[in-house]
Amino acid sequence: MASSDEEAKLERFLQWLQVNRVELRGTKIKYCDTNKGFGIFSADETSDGILLVVPLDLAITPMRVLQDALLGPECRTWFEEGEVDDRLLMILFLTLERLRKKSSWKPYLDMLPRTFGNPLWFTDEEFLELKGTTLYRATELQKKSLQSLYDNKVEGLVKKLLTLDGDSERANSVFWTRALNIPLPHSYVFPQTQVGDSNFSISKDSEHSTEHIASGELVSGKDEKGSRAQDVNGVTSASTPGETIWVEGLVPGIDFCNHDLKAAAVWEVDGMGSITGVPFSMYLLSAEPSPFGIEREISISYGNKGNEELLYLYGFVIDNNPDDYLMVHYPREAIQSVPFSELKSQLLEAQKAELRCLLPRSLLDQGYSLESTARSVVCNYSWSGQRNMPSYLNKLVFPENFLTALRTIALKEEELFQVSSMLEELVGSEEERQPSDTEVRSAVWEACGDSGALQLLVDLLQTKMMDLEDNSGTEDCDNELLKEIHPSQSLDREIVYNKNLSLVLRVQFSLKAYLG
């Protein structure tokens, strides 16, 4: 139940929404619990399925920051010189507006959480429980990045503009937990009256901004969170001429929708006002054919994300998350220490190989291989027909681009020279000719097959598990986990595996069996 202070904040926020032409159509915002905070609930049975309409003029976007009277002039120079990106602009804006005593955004900012459940807010003891995971390393890097950002940019700028008490870490969490990718027409992002003096450009590929979980990076989930993919009214090329630009931003009202795997609603953008009667607006649309019952929470989906990503971005996890995945990667910096590293790096580039792979939980229920075909196409890379394609290849769960990288890294000296000889023979006297990526893969496959690659894969998985041993819980818990995964497997009680490593274990047991 919300406290009287929270109720007062909510009342001021609802008044602020009304002043800014936000329409709650058959919905209301109310307190959920201490974990979720506030959410959106049905207030009556709506007829047309439109639940909430927010004018996009109210959205906090990079364009708004650059047009801000106080912050804009300072940020424009940085932005044009590439010192800050569009996300940092909004984080700076949130930090500054919270410190402004008479900010017009105060009713909205007062409603935002002051603490979060993501690892940035863990105690030292809680954070140590993540040690050995990709999430631990990613959070360490993020903390260092935020501190550097605060020291080098935020502190000086905000001190110049206001009295600073420092809150960039909170602003960062506010942004990442609430931001949406908004598809907007080019004319809305760059109005004709400003084209002549607009030298900045908003990132057009923000919808593809999912970053790696490799090398300690873990983000992003900033895809079209809660939207109906490829169905944005009034913005698609079919209904609005010109280019569509995806811009990250915070949309007050819509951003109070919590996550559910079975979303009750999606959001769309109405560019012409033909759907909602409000041009350039974002609206919440029911995803169900029948009206909601009163007091039902209206949720959206934050996307198909594993628990590490959900915790990193939003501060929560889902029990038995069907979208969990195992990431296996070979550190790029480690290539420098392998024999013939320069030549192998060139081969990796020539083959367009990938040093990481993401394996969905659903693929790993049977471990190393599947009963049904895991790949739609299996290429025969045999150079001369002397090396037969293995029977397991059409069942292998590991992507070919990743196995290609492991084969190349594992090449022995004589195998490497064999690859070079075959490629030289192929090119011959054609000095302008370069082998294709398929031809290079064929030569590598002919020289070494899969044995070295699969052994290297076992080593990577073993290292991943060893990194997690110190925080694995009791030995009894580990043994119970192993029994659930592979009841007939004899247990080595001297090795303690992390209780959260079921995905790794499923793969490793089968790989070890294959390699003997």
Per-residue model confidence (pLDDT) at position 481: 52
Pair (486, 453) in one structural domain: no
Domain-embedded: residue 209 = no
Domain-embedded: residue 200 = no
Domain-embedded: residue 224 = no
Query: Which CATH number characterizes residue 98's domain?
Result: 3.90.1410.10
Pair (53, 134) in one structural domain: yes
Residues 244 and 184: beta-carbon distance below 8 Å: yes
Task: For residue 315, count other CB atoms closer than 10 A to its CB.
Answer: 20
Pair (12, 55) in one structural domain: yes
Per-residue model confidence (pLDDT) at position 191: 64
Angle made by CA atoms 249, 251, 256, in degrees to the nearest 5: 125
Q: What integer best gives the mean pLDDT of the chain? A: 77
Structure tokens at 452: 């070295």
Question: Which of 293, 317, 341 is where one domain is finished?
Answer: 317
Domain-embedded: residue 102 = yes
* Domains: count for the chain: 3
Pair (441, 359) in one structural domain: yes
Pair (352, 422) in one structural domain: yes
Structure tokens at 98: 């919270």
Domain-embedded: residue 491 = yes
* Interaxial angle between packed helices 400-409 and 341-351, expressed in degrees from 0 to 180 and rounded to the nearest 10: 160
Domain-embedded: residue 64 = yes
Per-residue model confidence (pLDDT) at position 61: 92
Domain that holds residue 260: 1-190+243-317
Per-residue model confidence (pLDDT) at position 362: 76
Per-residue model confidence (pLDDT) at position 100: 82
Pair (2, 63) in one structural domain: yes
Residue-wise pLDDT for 214-261, tens only, equals: 344 554 444 557 776 444 444 433 334 457 889 999 999 999 999 998
Pair (32, 172) in one structural domain: yes
Pair (61, 159) in one structural domain: yes
Domain-embedded: residue 181 = yes
Task: For residue 30, count other CB atoms closer than 10 A to its CB.
Answer: 17
Structure tokens at 241: 């001429």
Residue whose entry in the numeric block shows the structure tokens 């906090």: 60
Domain-embedded: residue 234 = no
Per-residue model confidence (pLDDT) at position 152: 80
* Dist. CA 77–CA 151, nearest whole Å: 19
Residue-wise pLDDT for 350-394, tens only, equals: 999 999 988 887 776 655 554 444 343 344 555 565 666 766 666
Per-residue model confidence (pLDDT) at position 393: 66
Pair (409, 451) in one structural domain: yes
* Interaxial angle between packed helices 168-178 and 134-149, expressed in degrees from 0 to 180 and rounded to the nearest 10: 130
Pair (284, 258) in one structural domain: yes
Q: Output the DSSP codes for 186-211.
A: HHHHS-GGGGGG------TTGGG-PP
Pair (343, 408) in one structural domain: yes
Per-residue model confidence (pLDDT) at position 476: 58
Per-residue model confidence (pLDDT) at position 218: 52
Per-residue model confidence (pLDDT) at position 236: 38
Judging by beta carbons within 10 Å of its beta carbon (0-12, 13-18, 19+), is residue 260 exposed, middle or buried?
A: middle
Per-residue model confidence (pLDDT) at position 514: 44
Pair (62, 32) in one structural domain: yes
* 309 Cα distance to chain centroid: 6
Residue ranges of the chain whose pLDDT lies below 50:
164-166, 193-216, 219-222, 229-241, 370-379, 485-501, 509-510, 512-516
Q: What is the 3-state secondary structure (H, E, C) of 331-345?
A: CHHHHHHCCCHHHHH
